[in-house]
Amino acid sequence: MTKKTHLNWSNAKSSTPSQEYFYNTPVGLLSIKVHANILLKTEWLTKIKNARPGHLPETILQPLNHYWQTAAMDFAVPLAIQGTHFQQKVWQALCHIPLGQTHTYGELAKELNTSPRALANACRCNPFPLIIPCHRIVAKTGLGGYAGQTSGTMIEIKRALLQHENKLTHEL
């Protein structure tokens, strides 16, 4: 059901200034930073309520809209190279978790021959939430954390993303 996504890493060196766009989703506002057609970062904004969305490039807008319609993320835009080799390995593994499913920190840590804590730290550093689905990693006894938080708005976003994906995958 889910195609295995290979992250498209790219070097973001250019004299072109970066731009920030805002994308309103059903679960919150997403900041999207782009530099010369390379995605630099996505970040859930919990404090800004009414940012002007701007005109996102179609190459970014289409896959995001597709996700909210189908829960499938098919993102081909190059991502700025970030993180350590280990973090990139974890982020790539997150992209292989099937849509509508979750893995525990322990399960994925065992698969990657690392510790759950190291895996959680790599998830916390994910520069592309939503695109790299770290929300699909849960604790053995609950939701676990999301974006470095274990309660509050970020956990509500994680819960909403999982519900969205679960609902749409069961409708297909």
Tracing tokens 């195609």 back to the chain, one arrives at: 3
Question: How far, in Å, CA of 7 to CA of 76, rounded?
Answer: 8
Is the pLDDT assigned to residue 104 strictly greater than 80?
yes
pTM: 0.88
55 vs 95 pLDDT, higher one: 95
Is the pLDDT assigned to residue 169 strictly greater than 80?
no
Q: Which residues are catalytic?
A: 134
Question: How far, in Å, CA of 119 to CA of 105, rounded?
Answer: 7
Residue 112 contacts residue 90 (beta carbons within 8 Å): yes
Which pLDDT score is estimated for 57? 87
Is the pLDDT assigned to residue 144 strictly greater than 70?
yes
**Which residues, other chains included, contact 18 with Cβ-Cβ below 8 Å and sequence gap of 6+?**
33, 34, 35, 40
Which pLDDT score is estimated for 56? 86
